[in-house]
Structure 1
């Protein structure tokens, strides 16, 4: 065992991480990363996480909106040393408007408190808590932002639960002696369905278009260059930040390390999904999928797919795709963030965005959640 491995073994000894939002896109990636590193991992969520590695873990079924239930449940876990908070409440129906909704802000703030307060009450030896934000912290959904956006930029003056959560965890850390890290990933994609992951929606859209004899046209608005963050990479950053002294009480932007443009990666997505591209055709992917649910049902039956519940598979990903594709917008989001701070702090891993997108889509195909690529 080399010195680096010995240091890692020493760091993780006695550490037990609670991953909240365990069944979600980032939650599952975080669990896999911590298990790979030999940590004791407990997952908390309403649904039991299904790990792509096939491994199992201790799971707490809990509704974070039920304060009494959460308090009673988490009081049993007196040995938690680290928390990865990846839970999120999004109001249904109007995704973008919900980002500034007062009720949604209060609910997300309370959910975090419902997790941390019982652990503090029972004297859990908390060392570190990670929470997740995003470029909405810079106001990207409301106005142009600095290019690139830096963690040192003044706090943007707009309603957002990110700030309430950050202030709470910072104050609690000072009072109770634990450190914290805030991660701000760009648009997150990955191999887990549901929630805000746009890839299942892209796959469903492609399958419907193919079944109807239509081309896989890009449905978005104006061309723009952007950045992504693969969920597995975010999981690696969460693992690193849990013990790195350089991550203590810091904020970090997270991206794959490159840039991309949707029309440039569209042919690679088409090849993976075994569909033919066509001329651009701007329309709402969310509306299109809703209008063609019956076609998707035929696709599921035709190929013997496992995901009969379309809503569970795509979550709000189709609505998120409309935003991500700049559908109906005069221009796409001009959103670039600097990851220099993360590199200088000691995290250097990167991933090619095109590879990340196609590998995730192939994973859905391999698990019979999307049609086979050669039919």
Structure 2
């Protein structure tokens, strides 16, 4: 661990209202948080939602980080305070070239505002990415047909694939600051958490699908392929991601390293489907290849059903298309490889955080109900 703490640690969490953003904020503000006590400043593009406990933040900053002038105007006066940047933000688009441009612009704008001043106190950047590092641009309609992913389990020292990838672009930006800042890179799997503001939210997507099926008396079918139904996959509990990012930010031996971050166990979608059926009181339907169609096609005209469910249960107002990622679910549930990461490097460096994936799904559904996002 680092020795001494000459200046108070101030975290800037960019993407604070997402699944990991809110969980990271909660973890940083715990009395016994590693490296604490922490002050936490949170950045989001929109006002805080009513379910976000604003008392957790020492400062909320509403900011579109794509705007260089406003980013510099708002963040540069704070550069002598902020010591740690946690980059949880994402601009998601099917086009990988557009994703590279937009995500790179956001990160460059923020780092520029925080480092140009001679009085800057920024010392560490924690960058959250994911398994697209090993899979390639799986959501790009053109490139996804050409890529050959790495063999699982995915390992941090695998070479980059020869395809555009905004994760690679963000890493290169971070590397360019390596003479003045330390960094850590955190490669998540499928993230499990609670928010209505995360673009890729598999648990909320499947929960909405289950509730729509229940409301309309449709069978709750798994719409992926037979391979993923019966083969292993892994996930990343938002609490484990938060724990690893804090650990790497204050542990000298973990700095300037990339780490996979998963729960440390595996599941099959068949196992997960059983948990969802229990949680939402819907019948378990065995996998049947005869009923093969996509989540996108099935759910494309179901927005009005979700509106009814929200209204009938007095939920936090959401639109189905804003809180679900059915296109991503179609991609993930139709893999022909086991989506599993190695956690050996992380353990060897001293991080032992873990979670029981199926148990955590139940916990996060309970949390989504408490937040009035789910009934």
Q: Normalising by the residue count of structure 1, what TM-score does the alignment of the two structures yield?
A: 0.87
| Counterpart pick for 2:312 among 302, 306, 319 | 302
**Offset at residue 311 of structure 1 (A):** 2.9
In structure 1, distance between residues paired with 2:305 and 2:29: 40
| Counterpart pick for 1:324 among 292, 307, 332 | 332
Structure 2 unaligned runs (5+)? 139-146
Instruction: Indicate the residue corresponding to 2:168 in structure 1.
Output: 163
Instruction: Indicate the residue corresponding to 1:46 in structure 2.
Output: 45
**Offset at residue 42 of structure 1 (A):** 0.4
Change (3 A) 1:185 1:11: farther
In structure 1, distance between residues paired with 2:336 and 2:358: 19
| Counterpart pick for 1:118 among 108, 113, 116 | 113
**Offset at residue 306 of structure 1 (A):** 2.5
Instruction: Indicate the residue corresponding to 2:72 in structure 1.
Output: 71
Instruction: Indicate the residue corresponding to 1:4 in structure 2.
Output: none
Is 1:150 matched with 2:155?
A: yes
In structure 1, distance between residues paired with 2:100 and 2:171: 12
In structure 1, distance between residues paired with 2:121 and 2:307: 50
Instruction: Indicate the residue corresponding to 1:3 in structure 2.
Output: none
In structure 1, distance between residues paired with 2:48 and 2:309: 26
Is 1:17 matched with 2:18?
A: no
Aligned length in residues: 350
Structure 1 unaligned runs (5+)? 1-6
Instruction: Indicate the residue corresponding to 1:192 in structure 2.
Output: 195
In structure 2, distance between residues paired with 1:28 and 1:135: 21
Moved more, 122-131 or 339-348: 122-131
Q: 1:119-138 residue pairs with structure 2 within 5 A?
A: 119-122=114-117, 123-138=119-134
Could you report, residue by residue, the CA deviation over 1:217-247 in whole angstroms, capped at 9, with x for unpaired residues? 2121123311111112101111111101121
**Offset at residue 213 of structure 1 (A):** 1.5
Paired residue secondary structure (1:184): strand
* Contact residue 145 and residue 335 of structure 1 kept, 8 A: no
Instruction: Indicate the residue corresponding to 1:183 in structure 2.
Output: 186
* Contact residue 23 and residue 47 of structure 1 kept, 8 A: no
| Counterpart pick for 1:229 among 228, 232, 236 | 236
In structure 1, distance between residues paired with 2:45 and 2:181: 27
* Contact residue 25 and residue 56 of structure 2 kept, 8 A: no
In structure 2, distance between residues paired with 1:289 and 1:20: 31
**Offset at residue 183 of structure 1 (A):** 0.8
In structure 2, distance between residues paired with 1:350 and 1:11: 28
Paired residue secondary structure (1:131): strand
In structure 1, distance between residues paired with 2:351 and 2:336: 29
In structure 2, distance between residues paired with 1:12 and 1:337: 37
| Counterpart pick for 2:206 among 197, 202, 207 | 202
Change (3 A) 1:354 1:244: same
Instruction: Indicate the residue corresponding to 1:81 in structure 2.
Output: 83
In structure 1, distance between residues paired with 2:90 and 2:47: 16
* Contact residue 25 and residue 195 of structure 1 kept, 8 A: no
Is 1:266 matched with 2:289?
A: no
* Contact residue 17 and residue 52 of structure 2 kept, 8 A: no
Change (3 A) 1:53 1:65: closer
**Offset at residue 308 of structure 1 (A):** 4.1
* CA RMSD across the alignment: 2.1
Could you report, residue by residue, the CA deviation over 1:179-229 in whole angstroms, capped at 9, with x for unpaired residues? 001111111121112411111111111111111112222121123311111
Change (3 A) 1:250 1:83: same
In structure 1, distance between residues paired with 2:345 and 2:263: 14
Paired residue secondary structure (2:297): helix
* Contact residue 124 and residue 249 of structure 2 kept, 8 A: yes
Could you report, residue by residue, the CA deviation over 1:134-171 in whole angstroms, capped at 9, with x for unpaired residues? 11112353323133221122222211121222122112
In structure 2, distance between residues paired with 1:75 and 1:279: 56
Change (3 A) 1:107 1:63: same
Change (3 A) 1:166 1:103: same
In structure 1, distance between residues paired with 2:261 and 2:38: 23
